Structure 1
Amino acid sequence: MKRKAIALFGTAAVLSALGAPAAYAAPPPPRGVTIETADVSGPESCEEHELALSDDRNAFTITYSDFYVAAGGHLPWTDRKRCSILLRILVPSDYTFGINRVDYRGSAELAAGAKGLMRANIFFKGVIDPPEPRILDLKGPYSNNWTVVDEIPPDWVAYRPCGDSRGLYLDSELRVERGSSDPSKVNVIALDSTDGSIKTTYHFAWKTCPK
């Protein structure tokens, strides 16, 4: 899947300036959309997520409560966690959807010489997809929030087949390496939020089905 990832460090305030004009007139989002978690594979921090559909039905959000990795200090040299969430998304029979943009948000505390990365992928159940692209690659020193906008051009959006109800997989992986940093320093990269303010937002691309 062809992607264009734009990394925005320290603030998410400039996101509104990044929207590219649509290549075609997409239909308005349908009514009667429902979304729920069907299955989860990963650490407890992955299971304890919050899922919410936006009021305009153009996006949904995932909020993690404790999804992070840490290395250094009294901890191992490296740490890695992977989270896979299967969503059940029901839409009217005359509509289908894909995902054309994801806004990933998190935070990191990396000492000089340490590294943190995130990989992520989105695909429908039963559909073979390429390996997870490297969405974010941070090198210390770094101490701030981060945002990555992962945009998929209209011609490359993967839509669920019309009349199909297969689930949508959301895969995310975090990894941190102590590297050459001070062994006493603890390095962290996170996709979580203690106050619910850091969310990952998935934007729908809607399409009508032939009658």
Structure 2
Amino acid sequence: MKYTFTALALAALSLASPVPDAAPATAPPSFKIAGVISGGSGCPQGSIDIDYTDSRILPIYFSKDFTASVGPSVAADQSRKNCQINIDLQYTPGYQYAVYSADYVGYGDLDAGVKGIVRANYYFSGYTNQVSSSLAIQGPFTGRYTKHDDVALSIWSPCGSEAALNVNSEVSLTPMGGAGSGTLIATKESARFSHSVYIKWRQC
């Protein structure tokens, strides 16, 4: 099943990482993505794609807008890109879910002295509790990177009602205005930046 925003064609990226063994087998009989809203400097509405294979994996594919850059001639506002995603999941009543891990796949080209950060926050609409995961990439670095993060999230969606999952992602580079140059999460070869979110289920 696939939820796509616009006619903008986004190249799919095959992840080598399987679903972690900790993923529980129990899932609701019915599950679908009813809607997705995105916004921010890194993902204007209509620029991302979510192509999921089952009820436990939410792969998010970003476009070239989600690219941070620094360098002597690069504007300061290009050093950080943000993307706020609101995912409306609809599923059989009597279940709740939580995020328990995430995979990042992307491309970086960083000079010595340039540092890149990829960060994500997870929370449910209407709730203040949230959890973060991040990874740092230190230059010099050139190539594709992959990172698996275990997310110790004990916050479950509410029973008896559906709460949208929010994923706030960010890519940034430092320092700004230095002699070194860097680009993070640029389209490269056959891949765009990908962020797969793994969810677990339980019955209320």
Cα distance in 2 for residues equivalent to 1:36 and 1:205: 18
Aligned counterpart, 2:39: 41
Q: What TM-score do the two structures reach when normalised by structure 2?
A: 0.79
Equivalences for residues 161-200 of structure 1 within 5 A: 161-178=158-175, 183=179, 186-190=181-185, 195-196=190-191, 198-200=193-195
Shift of 1:87: 0.7
Aligned counterpart, 2:156: 159
User: Using a 3 Å threshold, how does the CA distance of structure 1 residues 107 and 118 change in structure 2: closer, same or farther?
Assistant: same
Cα distance in 1 for residues equivalent to 2:200 and 2:63: 27
Letter in 2 for 1:170: V
Shift of 1:138: 1.4
Aligned counterpart, 1:52: 51
Question: Which 10-residue stretch deviates more, 43-52 or 121-130?
Answer: 43-52
User: Using a 3 Å threshold, how does the CA distance of structure 1 residues 178 and 39 change in structure 2: closer, same or farther?
Assistant: same
Gaps of 5+ in 2: 1-14
Q: Is the 8 A contact 2:120 2:169 kept in 1?
A: yes
Secondary structure of 2:73's aligned partner: coil
Aligned counterpart, 2:75: 76
Shift of 1:207: 0.3
Cα distance in 1 for residues equivalent to 2:146 and 2:84: 20
Cα distance in 1 for residues equivalent to 2:194 and 2:21: 22
What is the aligned residue count? 187
Letter in 2 for 1:174: V
Deviations along 1:5-26, one digit per CA (max 9) or x if unpaired, are: xxxxxxx75x45x94557xxx4
Q: Is the 8 A contact 1:105 1:191 kept in 2?
A: no
Equivalences for residues 5-154 of structure 1 within 5 A: 13=16, 15-16=17-18, 19=20, 21=22, 26-43=24-41, 45-47=43-45, 48-54=47-53, 56-66=54-64, 67-76=66-75, 79-130=79-130, 132-133=132-133, 135-153=134-152
C-alpha RMSD of matched pairs (Å) = 2.7
Whether 2:193 is the aligned partner of 1:202: answer: no
Cα distance in 2 for residues equivalent to 1:193 and 1:157: 36
Cα distance in 1 for residues equivalent to 2:181 and 2:34: 36
Shift of 1:104: 1.3
Shift of 1:159: 1.1
